[in-house]
Amino acid sequence: MSTLPSIKLLSSQLSNQIAAGEVVERPASVLKELLENSLDAGATQIDIDIHQGGIGLLKVRDNGHGIRPEELSLALSRHATSKIASLDDLSQIHSLGFRGEALASIGAVSKLSLSSRFKDNDTGYQVYLAGRDSEPELKPIAHPVGTTVEMRDLFFNTPARRRFLRTEKTEYGHIRTVLQRILLSRFDVGVQLKRGQKTVETWEIAADKTSQLARIANICSTGFSEQHLAVDQYDNGLHLSGWISQPSFSRAQTDMQYFFINGRVVRDKLINHAIKGAYQDVLYHGRQAVYVLHLRMDAGQVDVNVHPSKYEVRFAQSQHIYQFLLKSLTQVLAATKPSAPAAEPLKKPQVETLASAVNYPTPAPTNHWQVNESQQSRPVDARDLYQQLSPSSIAPAATNYLPLEHESTYESKTEIPPLGYALAQLKQIYILAENAQGLVLVDIHAAHERITYEQLKQAKGKQIEQHLLVPIELELSSNELNIAKAQRPLLAQLGFGVEIIRANLLRLSRVPQLLAKADTGQLFRDVLSDLAEYQQSERVNEQIDKILATMACHGSVRAGQSLNRLEMNSLLRDMEATERSNQCNHGRPTWTAMSLNDLDKLFLRGQ
């Protein structure tokens, strides 16, 4: 008869090795902990040396304030830290590290030496630990002010874990990823990286925007540094700064997305959702934005003590954070339209815009719509809805351009608007124009589609909700029903009239008007799912915008439609006045340009 195992205490060595598994996954995770300690110590210069992808050796030296001799041995103990002292301190975390288990965990699975000279001392000291459960020995050494941590033979005493490490090249790649995050989080720190005593790269302190963009170009490519939009937004204790990519620059992967909260790199679903929402109708399908963003906020409003890796966070007011990020980045992206250096505006007579100069094709009826309660007696087709929201019913953007008879009389290039003046229409698809720099080429349909779409979005507030002749009844889970009850005011703002019939049964009596023919039941469930995860939802606006985008496509100038120069110039002026007009609704570019120098190179002029 077999006996059941008895309960007993784990040895100190085994418990340390188990705890190390939460902190030490690979050499890159060791580097992350050591770099964070250096930054918390006030370092402005960090030197890193690695061998065998950091498995054989990982050495980090900094010029921070150092560690007092009597505290060196204690620094290698579990849960020993100078960064918090009480439970209250956990609600106001200002340092990158604070748990106090990093050095102890690293020392439990490697051969670790810790050398430091405190800023007020003339002598440095060193302690050494080799995965043993013993008291480290302290000895004096020559050392500059600051700290050096040297880790050798990672997982030498846990061969099962060492087998899971990858090739030297792969581990080095992970080290580079960690280092890049630190470099983008702290431009006020210089870093030198060596492999086997050979300097691989040096990053100097980046004190101004020019040098910061140079560091960004080094890490995120020159394409991003050249095609970025600066962000600097404030609201009620929140400060968002950094750089996001113009919609014309994107990637297939999410490998160039960096977000920092109070200097700490984080990966958060709510943040990602907000940024994705800001890019939703300017980024080409399947592409990913590039960004380096820093959010500064009250440390008491964000919990960084969620996971040992400290990448995950929780917000005290997540909805406020979400709306701030979405609004801030949407405003920045709205400025993506043709622009030129500031100049004195031309005094030109007002003329009609494209919205009134071109006959909009009216889409044929495709389905039936129901409108407000007073009109329930008759179905309304898409033609009626389109006529209510079509650009012809919206005040067009102010349009100024030089009339045809005067187009050749301007004397100064500073008078030329960003997109210049139309020369011709190419194959009834493109506008050829000349601006101060050279040649401009405009995709007529794509450009007009964006103009129409933005006008429709401005007018969509006129169409809020409609009563349903036959209400929709939905069987919901208890969790979904609780969310619907708690979020009823927000659901009403989105256009949903919600009635609780009985347990798990809900009735929709009103829905957003433009979505009356959509799969409203599934949409409502998706909204509830968003509310459960993000405490709010943009699905209704996204669905309405999709419909408006379709309407804009049908209501825009089509390929093969001839325009005169008056109409072409009107389109150019509308583009200059319309937000996001650098891209169509699907994220494709609406125009491109070639400077005179570009053209000269194309034809080998001057060579």
Using only the alpha carbons of the chain, give its radius of gyration.
31
pLDDT at 549: 81
pLDDT at 529: 87
What is the value of pTM for the model shown? 0.77
pLDDT at 402 over 50: no
Domains of the chain and any CATH numbers: 12-203 (3.30.565.10), 209-334 (3.30.230.10), 354-459+553-602 (3.30.1540.20), 463-543 (3.30.1370.100)
pLDDT at 363: 34
Q: Tell me how far CA of residue 101 lies from CA of 17, 74, 105, 107, 263, in angstroms.
A: 11, 11, 6, 10, 21
Least confident of 77-91, 262-276, 417-431, 455-469: 77-91
Highest mean pLDDT among 115-124, 307-316, 471-480: 115-124
37 vs 100: CA distance, rounded Å: 10
Average pLDDT over residues 124-145: 83
pLDDT at 420: 95
DSSP string, 384-440: HHHHHHSGGGSPPPP-B---GGGTT----GGGS-TT-EEEEEETTTEEEEE-SSEEE
- pLDDT level of residue 358 (50, 70, 90 thresholds): very low
Letter for the amino acid at 347? Answer: K
- pLDDT level of residue 9 (50, 70, 90 thresholds): confident
pLDDT at 543 over 70: yes
> Parallel, antiparallel, or unpaired: how do β-strands 438-443 and 430-434 relate?
antiparallel
More confident residue, 7 or 299: 299
More confident residue, 422 or 304: 422
> Parallel, antiparallel, or unpaired: how do β-strands 228-235 and 505-512 relate?
unpaired
The helix or strand, by DSSP H or E, that contains position 233, with its residue range, turns out to be strand 228-235
- pLDDT level of residue 292 (50, 70, 90 thresholds): very high
- pLDDT level of residue 386 (50, 70, 90 thresholds): very low
Q: Using alpha carbons only, what angle is made at residue 282 by residues 276 and 288, rounded to the nearest 5 degrees?
A: 45
DSSP string, 531-559: HHHHSS--HHHHHHHHHHHHHHHHTSPPT
> Parallel, antiparallel, or unpaired: how do β-strands 505-512 and 497-502 relate?
antiparallel
Q: What is the pLDDT of residues 213-257, one digit of tens each?
A: 999 999 999 999 999 999 999 998 999 999 999 998 999 999 999
Tokens of 203: 């990053």
Average pLDDT over residues 469-475: 89
486 vs 292: CA distance, rounded Å: 36
Are the C-beta atoms of 466 and 370 separated by less than 8 Å? yes
More confident residue, 258 or 380: 258
pLDDT at 58: 97
pLDDT at 523: 84
Q: What is the pLDDT of residues 480-532, one digit of tens each?
A: 999 998 888 888 877 888 998 888 899 999 887 777 767 888 888 888 888 88
pLDDT at 367: 31
61 vs 192: CA distance, rounded Å: 10
Residue-averaged pLDDT of the chain = 81
Please, where are the H alpha helices in 425-487?
Answer: 444-459, 478-486
Average pLDDT over residues 413-417: 72
- pLDDT level of residue 371 (50, 70, 90 thresholds): very low
> Parallel, antiparallel, or unpaired: how do β-strands 45-51 and 190-195 relate?
parallel
Average pLDDT over residues 157-164: 88
pLDDT at 84: 54
pLDDT at 385: 39
Q: What is the pLDDT of residues 171-199, one digit of tens each?
A: 999 999 999 999 999 999 999 999 988 99
Average pLDDT over residues 382-406: 40
259 vs 271: CA distance, rounded Å: 9
